[in-house]
Amino acid sequence: MGSEAQPHDGLSERGISQAMPERGTGAADFRLLADALPHLVWVCRPDGALDYLNHRGSEYFGAAHDPSNGPFLCGPATHPEDNERARAAWEEAIARSDPLSFETRLRRHDGRFYWHLTRAQPVRDGSGALTGWMGTSTNVHDAKEANDRSAFLLALSTELAPLGNPQELLCAAMGRLRERLGAALVSLAELDESQGEAVMLRQRASDASQIEVASLPLRPFENLATRARQGQVTIMRDVRDQSRAPALYDRWFGLEGVGAVVSAPLLQGGALLALLSVVEAKPRDWSESEVTLVQRVADIVWPAFEKARADRAVEEALREVNQRKDEFLAMLGHELRNPLAPITSAVHILRIHAARHSEIEWARAVIDRQTRHLARLVDDLLDVSRIVRGQIVLHREELDLVDIVTHGIETSRPLIRARNHRLHVQMPRAQVRLPGDLTRLAQVLANLLNNAAKYTDEGGEIWLDASREGNRAVLRVRDTGAGIAATLLPRVFELFAQAERTLDRSQGGLGIGLTLVKLLVEMHGGSVEARSAGLGQGAEFIVRLPALPDGNPPAGRDARDSQITPAERDSRAGKDPRAADAGQGAQDGHNGHGRKVDESREAHAGPRQGRPPGALRILIVDDNVDAADSTAMLLSLDGYETHSVHSARAALEVASSISPDVVLLDIGLPEMDGYEVARRLRSLPQGAPSMIVALTGYGQPADRERATLAGFDEFLVKPVETAVLSGLLESLPLH
């Protein structure tokens, strides 16, 4: 056949007889059988050179195969990427006279490559010498492509499954498809036929990490959309030849010269939603397998993309809800603290005048207790929100367990006394040291003691046991109270979880105290456990915290079980941790009064007329009139010259005229916030005040940092303990 094998004319009787000498099959009969098979049937010499090729093989290769170019199925007839593998298989088979088997892509007469499985058996003569090879090459292209396609789609699905970001998902899917097909661009067009436009999302080979977004009118591409609505895949092997307006495709896909396109429609309920397209800059003869792959990828990508987008929308909605909740809590904390501040000041003023009137003193004490209770509720509510959002920072130091007990008891003492409980305290026999935040751990113990006091009938008993167990510091709080139902016990630490209440809501609280306990303990690397035999059987809470190595027993430590008396508590207790940490747990917020503010330029002076020699002149600025005036009155009773105003403008005018030594300045002022007022006070021509103190309901770390930058010297969160404010003022030198 010249340069190609001619099965009928080129096959010698010698070739067939040497290949099958023992059977004596004639050449004609062999050719008849070989031509009837759906495979490429061939006979080769011992060195692999072609000696015979059946009619199907000749039709397949045409002039593409040169039988003189080495072993059969090597060289131009084989895909360049497979050629070395085919030669290696031949060399090994010839060297060992073993059966031959390999898969390669063979070039068809039209230039296309198709996968074939080649198998051959060695033919030997009577002495066992190798005389040739008889083999077949079977077209396995469809099966091979299907397996490869399935593997690719499985890998793609696995890669896309964990991706929740819609853009990241599209980047990954488009990138994999573009790499697989070696294309210039992959696009996803979302069609909005009601608006007559398409949103085109494109990924280019030059920047696979980015998705381009373009909005295009749909009308010029109606022909493309019409085929897509019918579920038809658009296949354009040469856009310039197949389209009357190839420039439209350039505009649609954003390429300067679109050569070939495959577009797969995405339908839902018969409606066309989108088109997934693979674009090549030059003409391309898309294979059936490539078109099928684009369709299958479209079937995977669109549902995954829609799910990711829906999930993202839900996440954003939840995030917005959480943000609004946080903003509400911040505003709530600010607004609740504003009325607490003047109430607290009024209580201290009443204390001065109620010493000889028992009824007034009783009323003052009630207001004082309830104000402190409300302040604790606000703190707990805001603390939970801050901890959940990771905004609580622990001030860790080496602590003595006894100090935690002392501070916790001091905080809970008013409630325990009010309900006439008997508290038994067992101190550790040896010193127990542990790392932690004293204020927060005292808060944990106080919450447990308050919980026991609230849910135990008056005159009940509470036990507090502090000890060391192995490498843990342990606090146990047990009571004779109402107990915990078996159904509530597993969720007793959940937010707002509470037992059923009576109509009088005698226990009070918001159901967040135990949640706060759990969160704070876990922040310290510890654990908390609740136990109860059931309703009416009391309850026990056990806190376990990491302890430091054993220390020496402190001298004089009384480890006996005893009732802590007020005198003993006063001698052991330090500062109230909530007073020492005034304002902890505050949230960011904004002033939402919505009322007219008195902007009179006249300053309100305290009851004492005339300034004592060396007394500080204090300007109080707060749009809450009661808060400003009550603070002014309270400080005037301590001998300070006080002036109160209720707007930013009045504050600057009065400060210019009286040159105050100290300014107590609210941040949430209308018209001009306290930060700007502080900056302007620092720039007064006659000189700035010696100290500017933020006295506000805003208490996040960011608020403190911003206040420092604005020129504030101190930052106090409402309601401020009188002792804290007095101590701050007393620390200043008299002028």
| Phi, psi of 187, deg, nearest 5 | -135, 155
What is the side-by-side strand order in the sheet with 662-665? 604-605, 641-645, 617-621, 662-665, 691-696, 714-717
- Residue 666's contacts (CB-CB under 8 Å, 6 or more residues apart) are 621, 622, 623, 624, 627, 628, 674, 694, 695, 696
Residues in the chain: 735
Asked if residue 377 has pLDDT above 90, the reply is no
- Quickly state the pLDDT bin for 360 (edges 50, 70, 90): confident
Residue 3 has pLDDT above 50, yes or no: no
Residue 181, CA distances (Å) to 22, 167, 285, 390, 704 in order: 51, 21, 12, 47, 57
Burial of 507 (0-12, 13-18, 19+ CB in 10 A): middle
CA distance 85 to 89: 6
| 255 — pLDDT class (breaks 50, 70, 90) | confident
- For β-strands 50-53 and 100-107, DSSP reports them as unpaired
Q: Average pLDDT over the chain, rounded to whole?
A: 77
Residues 571-600: what's their mean pLDDT?
Answer: 32
* pLDDT tens, residue by residue, 525-554: 999 999 998 888 899 999 999 999 875 444
Tokens linked to 484: 């915990």
Sign of torsion, CA 265 266 272 273?
negative
What is the dihedral angle through the alpha carbons of 222, 223, 226, 231, rounded to the nearest 10 degrees?
-130
Would the pTM count as exceeding 0.85? no
Q: Is 307 helix (H, G, I), strand (E, B) or coil?
A: helix
Has residue 11 got a pLDDT over 70? Answer: no
Handedness of CA 365, 371, 376, 377 (dihedral sign): positive
Domains, the chain, in order of start with CATH, read 13-139 (3.30.450.20), 155-314 (3.30.450.40), 393-577 (3.30.565.10), 604-730 (3.40.50.2300)
C-beta of residue 705 within 8 angstroms of C-beta of residue 678 = no
Q: Rounded mean pLDDT of 144-152?
A: 86
**Preceding amide of 719 cis, omega within 30:** yes
pLDDT digits (tens, 9 = 90+) for 622-656: 988 878 888 888 888 888 899 999 999 999 999 99
